[in-house]
Structure 1
Amino acid sequence: MSANSDPLSPRAKLAVTAGKAVAAASRAAGRGSGSVIGGRVALKLDPDLLGRLAQNLDCVLVSATNGKTTTTRLIAEALRAAGPVVSNALGANMPAGITSALAGGSESRFAVIEVDEKYLAGVARDTDPKCIALLNLSRDQLDRAAETRMLAENWREGLAGSKAVIVANCDDPLVVWAASSSPNVIWVAAGQMWKDDAWSCPACGGVMQRPGDDWFCGECGFRRPAPTWALSGDHVLDPHGSAWPIHLQLPGRANKANAASSAAVAAVFGVPPQVALERMYQVQAVAGRYDVVQFLGRDLRLLLAKNPAGWLETFSLIDPPPTPVILSVNARGADGTDTSWLWDVDYTRLTGHPIFVIGDRKLDLAVRLEVANQHFQVCDTLDQAVQQAPPGRIEVIANYTAFQDLRRRVGN
């Protein structure tokens, strides 16, 4: 269904035009994509614009602490089998960025929208989504984000009674608590490597029991629901028990989990698992993540990890020792200025790797590595770290703004 079948009001059209003009000016001035400032201007002119742009689209919202940008890309690729898709592929995931993305998709049938966890309830109210994918909740940006239990409560209240089909990870107790207020939930066993944010029951505060892959609260009976979709090794198991192979160019277990959730979402829209998973193979990198680039005569693989859960997953996919590893950490506004999360990361997993440390907060990271008995060198620049690294491909792991700095330096 095209948005053209229900034309926007003159005010909405003016808002879209003004937003695009401001975004173009921002790009011309070299200030990034312009999507956020363009969206802000458009919403100022028409505060209801997001809802108007979404009204003729089948919307999918994707929210999580980790994996939402990649999962948004995978779902968008899968749904293109059924029709044109508009998506905020560059990760501008608050209302202004989402509004900008939808303003450019007038001929689309589907909208696949990454949403910041704190804005999920409001965006769901505005866009009336057909499906919402909830992947995980873990600690992130400790200086300004709510405690994870409060975020789960916010989701639970915001999604209560929602008409949307909720596709939720049954291995994360916080996600299950949040999704359980909804009448129509599809549970996916996508796994959960990081468990340190869900040792107490979100329902009653009791201690969570975790035998094997199961979990339950011994005090109130809150427990892991039975999944109808599951990640099993290199396959997705669908509700009929059929196993579909996952072939991705993206590395690691976490991306197989993202593919399993994406296949479940695609099925809501009638795209079969085989078709959905085949289309996901097209995704090679996501906003520079997982890209292998040439720099100073070396191959560098760029990996984003912005919180303890993300670092844990990233350590599991890097090449084995003695592959050199460069770590870069900043603490600017977009990262969160609190670096205490570094102490939650198990850096002993890097034992045997030559480690090089850069970034604004390289000394914070150096202290953490010292305590973890790791051997490392502190360097002033990426260039210096690359020149000092022993031969072979280099794994470069960075948090959010550090990753953007790296991409600019290597021309990616």
Structure 2
Amino acid sequence: MSINLPRPLRRLRATVATTAASAATAASRATGRGAGGMIGGLVANAIDPTIMSTVGKDRPTVLITGTNGKSTTTRMTANALRSRYTVATNDGGDNMDAGIISALMAGKDASHVVLECDELHVPKVADRLHPTALILLNLTRDQLDRVGEINKLERALRACIEAHPEMTVIANCDDVLVTSAAFDAENVVWVSAGAGWIGDSVSCPRTGSHVVHNGDDWYATKPLADGREFRRPEPTWVVDSEALRTPMGDTPLDLKLPGNANRGNAAQAIAAAVSCFDISLDGARNAVEEVDNVAGRYSTIEFEGREVHMLLAKNPAGWQEALSMLDRDADGHVIAVNGQVADGEDLSWLWDVVFENFEGLKVHAAGERGTDLAVRLKYASINHDLIHDPVEAIRACPTGRVEVLANYTAFRDLKKALERSAQAAKEGNE
């Protein structure tokens, strides 16, 4: 019904939707209920279900998706495009329909759009915005109660790519599932961005045959139905610990963000900017290197004589990367785990994380699902205690440097609590 409305009525409805959304966003901020990154989009979409297409305005758009690294890669890609264009982006991490609509409305005058997109929402968002590029980072198990089995997601993304042959796919060829999704893409840029976690890459998602990993290479033991070999494609962009290797030559990559995963994120962001948006290699690289903070991740907060270093880890792949960045010589170590809807209520992934790497350390288990974590640590033979309140767990650590690893809502809530405490201490000293 909405599609067949006369054009004047469609314009009127869009105007009403955006006006109501702006009012809702302003009210949310004024009352302290939130930053308004979601409510405006929810209101606008309720009034006008076609609002995403309307405010998208057929602008050049890049979508970024994957299990890990979406927010960081989105920030990097947006920075790279800003070296030449104005950019609308959802850098607050609101990556479903409502957050995307809010970002498009907030950046209605921008020439280009860079959007983090939840994996399940990519097909519908792509249908509405017809993106110029899709950055596919990685696909691993995450939030099984919401997303389901990872092969189902791979098939949905594969169908999305097939439905949009004009879209350039920037795909991580080191990830078996990403490669399968993009294998038949008409326009694909293969990037060797690394694959630290291969627990979900042991079989071919198309044939079920075994996948053999041999150094940088991997291949399936059974050919595809059309006889082709399913093997790691040859990348045109490669990142390693020394440099970013590009079709234009090698260039140094000196990031402010830690970890090999972020080097991979940077490689795909730069590849997208250069390949699809006519950004110079030097311009894209310099812009990406300036990113030093993503929603407080990797930040250090002063708290009662402690330097609390915050790391976000949401699933086995993320935990593996976070563990590689952990300062084992810190004065205290806290792990906080919640199981809210935004985290995924199914925490069976805890048993895939190699917590045995904490051997020799004293760990404080915390969070709403701290008991689940404590059971896992017990089976990993890790010296630990259980303090459900993450703030109290930090207080139980000696003064000095404290490493905190937390999943999504535990990270979010702890960061807010520490910032409130720091603000109260500041006001008390004034």
TM-score, normalised with respect to structure 2:
0.91
Check whether the contact 2:333–2:364 (CA below 8 A) recurs between aligned residues: yes
Letter in 1 for 2:109: E
CA offsets 1:60-114 (integer angstroms, 9 cap, x no match)? 1000000001100000011101111110001111111100100011221111000
1:18-33 counterparts in 2 under 5 A?
18-33=20-35
Match for 1:210 among 209, 213, 228?
213
Provide the C-alpha distance between the structure 1 equivalents of 2:94 and 2:354, rounded to a whole number of angstroms. Answer: 30
Match for 2:386 among 359, 378, 383?
378
Check whether the contact 1:161–1:183 (CA below 8 A) recurs between aligned residues: no
Match for 2:407 among 399, 404, 408?
399
Q: 1:309 to 1:25 in 2, by over 3 A?
A: same
Secondary structure of the residue aligned to 1:175 is helix
Counterpart of 1:69 in structure 2 is: 71
1:339-378 counterparts in 2 under 5 A?
339-378=347-386
Q: 1:201 to 1:140 in 2, by over 3 A?
A: same
Letter in 1 for 2:342: A
Letter in 1 for 2:379: V
Secondary structure of the residue aligned to 1:377 is strand
CA offsets 1:318-338 (integer angstroms, 9 cap, x no match)? 223355221000001111111
Secondary structure of the residue aligned to 2:309 is strand
Cα deviation for residue 22 of structure 1 reads 1.1
The RMSD of aligned alpha carbons is: 1.5
Check whether the contact 2:270–2:288 (CA below 8 A) recurs between aligned residues: no
Cα deviation for residue 301 of structure 1 reads 1.1
Do structure 1's residue 178 and structure 2's residue 181 form an aligned pair? yes
Letter in 2 for 1:287: A
Secondary structure of the residue aligned to 2:95 is coil
Secondary structure of the residue aligned to 1:144 is helix
Letter in 2 for 1:175: V
Check whether the contact 2:330–2:402 (CA below 8 A) recurs between aligned residues: no
Which moved further from structure 2: 349-358 or 190-199? 349-358
Provide the C-alpha distance between the structure 1 equivalents of 2:306 and 2:333, rounded to a whole number of angstroms. Answer: 13
Provide the C-alpha distance between the structure 2 equivalents of 1:322 and 1:409, rounded to a whole number of angstroms. Answer: 21
Secondary structure of the residue aligned to 1:316 is helix
Check whether the contact 2:253–2:285 (CA below 8 A) recurs between aligned residues: yes
Match for 1:116 among 109, 115, 118?
118
Provide the C-alpha distance between the structure 2 equivalents of 1:50 and 1:323, rounded to a whole number of angstroms. Answer: 48
Provide the C-alpha distance between the structure 2 equivalents of 1:80 and 1:323, rounded to a whole number of angstroms. Answer: 40
Provide the C-alpha distance between the structure 1 equivalents of 2:244 and 2:233, rounded to a whole number of angstroms. Answer: 18
Which moved further from structure 2: 181-190 or 41-50? 41-50
Do structure 1's residue 166 and structure 2's residue 173 form an aligned pair? no
Check whether the contact 1:296–1:386 (CA below 8 A) recurs between aligned residues: no
1:6-405 counterparts in 2 under 5 A?
9-162=11-164, 163-220=166-223, 221-240=229-248, 242-267=249-274, 268-321=276-329, 323-405=331-413
Secondary structure of the residue aligned to 1:23 is helix
Letter in 2 for 1:245: P
Q: What are the ranges of 5 or more consecutive residues in structure 2 without an aligned counterpart? A: 1-7, 224-228, 421-430
Counterpart of 1:4 in structure 2 is: none
Provide the C-alpha distance between the structure 2 equivalents of 1:323 and 1:246, rounded to a whole number of angstroms. Answer: 31
Secondary structure of the residue aligned to 1:215 is strand
Letter in 2 for 1:261: Q
Provide the C-alpha distance between the structure 2 equivalents of 1:136 and 1:404, rounded to a whole number of angstroms. Answer: 23
Letter in 2 for 1:88: N
Cα deviation for residue 38 of structure 1 reads 1.4
Provide the C-alpha distance between the structure 1 equivalents of 2:313 and 2:61, rounded to a whole number of angstroms. Answer: 28
Provide the C-alpha distance between the structure 2 equivalents of 1:48 and 1:383, rounded to a whole number of angstroms. Answer: 44
Which moved further from structure 2: 17-26 or 260-269? 17-26
Check whether the contact 1:142–1:336 (CA below 8 A) recurs between aligned residues: yes
Which moved further from structure 2: 143-152 or 278-287? 278-287
Letter in 2 for 1:379: I
CA offsets 1:344-374 (integer angstroms, 9 cap, x no match)? 1000112233311110011110110011011
Cα deviation for residue 161 of structure 1 reads 4.4
Q: What are the ranges of 5 or more consecutive residues in structure 1 without an aligned counterpart? A: 1-6
TM-score, normalised with respect to structure 1:
0.95
CA offsets 1:11-36 (integer angstroms, 9 cap, x no match)? 22221111111122222232222222
Corresponding pairs, count: 405
Which moved further from structure 2: 384-393 or 142-151? 384-393
